[in-house]
Amino acid sequence: MWFFVTWHENVTRLSRLCSVIYRGTNTHVISIGGMSEPENISALSALLSLGNTHFLYRRPVAWGGQKLLFHNLLEAARAFDARADKNAWLQVICNRTFPLVGPKEMAERLAVNIFAREPSRFHKIAPPGWREEWPDEIVRDLPRLYSEALDEIFETANPEKFLRLATYEAIYKSSYDRVTPQSFNFSERAEVMSTTGTDSVHRYAISPFGVDARWMSFARLGEFVDTSAENGFTYARRADTVQVQWAHKIISQYNFRIGSPFITASKRYVHTLLHDERCTELMAVMNHGFGPEMNVFDTIGMSHQFKLMYEYGHLYFRTPTHTATDADIEVATEACEKEGVFFLRKTLAAGSAEFIRHFTAKISKEWDHSVRYYSTSVPSPIAGASIPTLDQVVALIPDGARMDLRSLMGQALGAFRVFRDGRVMDLTGASFGGWRIEDKDFVLVFPWGEKIYRRGSSMPGKLLLPPSEVVSAANNWGIFVEIELGDEPASAESRCVDFALPSDLLSADRTWITADSEHAVMLAALEPNDDPDYPPAVQSARARGTSLGSLDLGSVTFADRKCAVVMRDAAPGAQAATVNDLPITLTARDLIGVFQIQTLDVDAPVHFHESGRLLDESGEHVGDWRVRAGAVWILGLPRIRLACGRQFTRTNAGWRISGWGWKDFKNPVSFSATQVG
């Protein structure tokens, strides 16, 4: 299974959710959402210490914009389609969802094709769209009827035709209010919606002489609403008549559904979604509207043209209040056993603790109970993971490195040498200008002025910096900087980890975390804080390590300025471990060898050569690596151009490095590198 988890707040709860859904054979993709930078990215990144775990982080967009979920999910779906086994399933949940069964039982249930047995059971949360709200004669003519209704409102303030549509009684009760939620902007300028409440936080606006028809876009007339994110706002606009007619022609062919993005989908469903031209056309239509993910997946799944009804479903349920309380344990258990659901849709910020504790205990029965694991943590001087900034990248430049300037179109603009003390000289040794770091940016000083560089990339043997500006013929296609890296032989003096565990780690009284799961105790030891309203999958108590029995050292993980030590029950007759049994020194020389590099869309072995080069399996120079200030830098690889690993895990099998980098100039990427030879 591949889990796609949408997340925007509370690192501790995400960590505890991952403790119960994690399985080493699965892949876990966490999509970072929200309208601001993620909270505590150092603590959040500790989850990368797990195998097969990735973050998908795209810069924040205004609420209501198409990228809120849709595009992130499609990016993960492409990776799933390319890399997952043919029998794999993609499961989409949010950070407030809670499982009612464990990942092993989920896989067992899906292996027998539960959707083919009783498909209607798992599609019931996706009611029909406008085809059953209005009769066919209205549906066929909706573009004209809706256009005329808005024309009358903005010509004579006459709502009669609009009310005829909005109050038409069909499958919905007559008390279902579809009029009150509407807003019409009679101003000559775009107006922000609602000066109080969530709308102001979401920065939602209506264009001049436009209508806020989100009730239609979510549920019924998505193709009639154009929502575009601009300058931090999402604007609702009345779509052009030609656009409406085209969109309606496409959608009216299919079984349009009011759906949900939280789906369970087979490999065949995902492949069809991505590669069938009809799906591409349907997604393109819905993409300009508000929240396309709310409708497109169910419309494709329930339309006979695609033959996918048995390939997807919604394996969660909602309580009458739409959230879980402690009183819902019995009804959730019944839904899980009799209706076959996997998840409760939402838990509460408070009031769900017993619910979570009950199902956590149930899921933990899947763990291997033959071995008990124990963990504790101590402070570490190793900096936590973060997304690399350009000032950190510039520190990798050798003193006196060659710097070539060129335009975007390839015109050579000069060759120079750049020095760490801020000097820039031409190749004859004459002073040309200088450079400095300002607010983490690289500022290149020319005799005639300055250029600012905020992002970087790399190719084998060189760094590449684009100017932070619009580049066009008007400025002669800009000034791009290429700086040679050269080779840097690995040295035992360059250290990533050099840490001594406290000599009283086992003898002193301290908090020990215990469970029948190695990943659960490791994550618990790295949590940034406790959350009593969201109980963990582990137990903890003050004790001396020597009182826990005969233990073997399992792993040591450095993340978020903590060192998490994991121990396990020793084999019968084995000698008890000491804190000196596991080496926790990592130098550049120790990194020479083969590492498996993983991102969401990269999974390949790379040889860390002693010269500081990265070589592929054929021995070709494909990138470079460096050790600086306690971090491992990986440079020049396709789709992971600049990466910095500041998290380290040591097991008996070797080292695992994880952290963040840049996929390109625009998009961050999480990565891991696991020692395999």
Least confident of 62-76, 215-229, 336-350, 647-661: 215-229
Per cent of the chain over pLDDT 70 is 87
Averaged pLDDT, 499-517: 92
Residues 412 and 458 in one domain: yes
pLDDT band at 35 (very low <50, low <70, confident <90, very high): low
Q: How far apart are CA 479 and CA 535, in angstroms?
A: 54
Smallest CA-to-CA distance from 55 within 319, 385, 452 is with 385
Into how many domains does the chain fold? 3
DSSP 448: T
Considering the domain architecture, whether residues 38 and 50 belong to the same structural domain is answered as: yes
pLDDT at res. 197 = 40
Task: Work out the pLDDT band at 468, boundaries 50, 70, 90.
Answer: very high
Q: Is residue 72 part of a domain?
A: yes
At 217, is the pLDDT very low, low, confident or very high (cuts 50, 70, 90)?
A: very low
pLDDT in tens, 261-290: 899 999 999 999 999 999 999 888 877 665
Lowest mean pLDDT of 107-111, 185-189, 221-225, 563-567, name the range.
Answer: 221-225
Greatest pairwise CA separation for the chain in angstroms: 91
Is the pLDDT at 72 greater than 50, yes or no? yes
Query: Do 134 and 157 share a structural domain?
Result: yes
How confident is residue 219, by pLDDT bands cut at 50, 70 and 90?
very low
| pLDDT value at 41 more than 90 | yes
Residues 317, 404 share a domain: no
- Does residue 497 register a pLDDT over 90? yes
125 plus 135 within the same structural domain? no
Structural domain contains residue 609: no
pLDDT digits (tens, 9 = 90+) for 607-642: 999 999 999 999 999 999 999 989 999 999 999 999
Please say if the pLDDT value at position 67 is more than 60. Answer: no
If you average pLDDT over residues 84-94, what whole number do you get?
Answer: 95
Which domain-ending residue is among 440, 469, 484? 484
CATH of the domain at 404: 2.40.128
- Of 217, 295, 289, 288, give the one whose Cα is nearest residue 260: 295
Range of the domain at 423: 397-484
pLDDT confidence of 470, banded at 50, 70, 90?
very high
* Exposure b/e, 507-537, CB count within 10 A at least 16 = b: eeebebbbbbbbbbbbbbbbbbeebeebbbb
- Please tell me which residue, 669 or 210, carries the higher pLDDT value: 669
Average of pLDDT values for 435-443?
A: 96
Q: Looking at the structure, do residues 209 and 267 belong to the same domain, yes or no?
A: no
pLDDT at 325: 87
Within this chain, do residues 117 and 11 fall inside the same structural domain, yes or no? yes
Report, as an integer, the average pLDDT of 384-399: 95
- Residue type (1 letter), 579: V
The pLDDT, as a whole number, for residue 196 is: 40
Q: Above 70 in pLDDT, residue 575?
A: no
Q: Locate tokens 């975007």: which residue?
A: 408
335 with 433, same domain?
A: no
Residues 239 and 265 in one domain: no
- Asked if pLDDT for residue 223 goes beyond 90, the answer is no
Name the pairing type of β-strands 343-344 and 2-7.
Answer: unpaired
What whole-number distance in Å separates Cα of residue 614 and Cα of residue 132?
60
Conformation bin of residue 477: beta by default, left when phi > 0, alpha when psi is -120 to 50: left
CB 667 within 8 Å of CB 71: no
Q: Is the per-residue pLDDT at 134 higher than 60? A: yes
The top-scoring range by mean pLDDT among 29-43, 86-100, 308-322 is 86-100
Task: Give the whole-angstrom CA distance, residue 216 versus residue 274.
Answer: 26
Q: Counting beta carbons within 10 angstroms of the beta carbon of residue 3, is it exposed (0 to 12), middle (13 to 18) or buried (19 or more)?
A: buried
Residue 466 is assigned to a structural domain of this protein: yes
In a domain, 596, yes or no: no
- pLDDT given for residue 570 in this prediction: 86
CA–CA distance, 285 with 152 (Å, rounded to integer): 26
How does strand 668-675 pair with strand 585-587?
A: unpaired
Let me know whether 155 and 117 are in one domain: no
Alpha-carbon gap, residue 179 to 160, rounded angstroms = 12
Residue 76 pLDDT level (bands cut at 50, 70, 90): very high
Rounded to whole angstroms, the Cα distance separating 303 from 292 reads 16
Kindly report the CATH number assigned to the domain that includes residue 306: 3.90.550
Contacts of 291 (CB under 8 A, 6+ apart): 64, 68, 70, 217, 218, 222
Domain final position from 484, 513, 544: 484
pLDDT band at 176, cuts 50/70/90?
Answer: low
Q: Give the C-alpha separation, 218 to 180, whole Å.
A: 16
Judgement on whether residues 26 and 120 belong to the same structural domain of the protein: yes
pLDDT at 194: 58
Question: Does any domain span residue 453?
Answer: yes
pLDDT band of 231, cuts 50, 70, 90: low
Position 320 scores a pLDDT of 76
- Range 421-446 average pLDDT: 95
High-pLDDT (> 90) share of the chain, %: 61
- Averaged pLDDT score across all residues of the chain: 88
Confidence of residue 172 (pLDDT cuts 50, 70, 90): low
Name the pLDDT band for 62 (thresholds 50, 70, 90): very low
635's tokens: 């440079």
The separation between the first and the last C-alpha atoms of the chain, rounded to the nearest angstrom, is 28
Residue 534 in this model has a pLDDT that exceeds 60: yes
The residue from 190, 221, 251 where one domain ends is: 251
Residue 18 placed within a domain:
yes
- Would 159 be classed as within a structural domain? yes
664 inside domain: no
**Which range has the worst mean pLDDT, 286-300, 444-458, 609-623?**
286-300
DSSP label at 293?
Answer: G
Q: Identify the pLDDT of residue 190.
A: 81
pLDDT tens by residue, 343-388: 998 888 888 999 999 999 999 999 999 999 999 999 999 989 999 9
The mean pLDDT of 50-63, rounded to a whole number, is 78
Phi and psi torsions of 326, nearest 5°? -65, -20
In terms of domains, do 264 and 358 share one?
yes
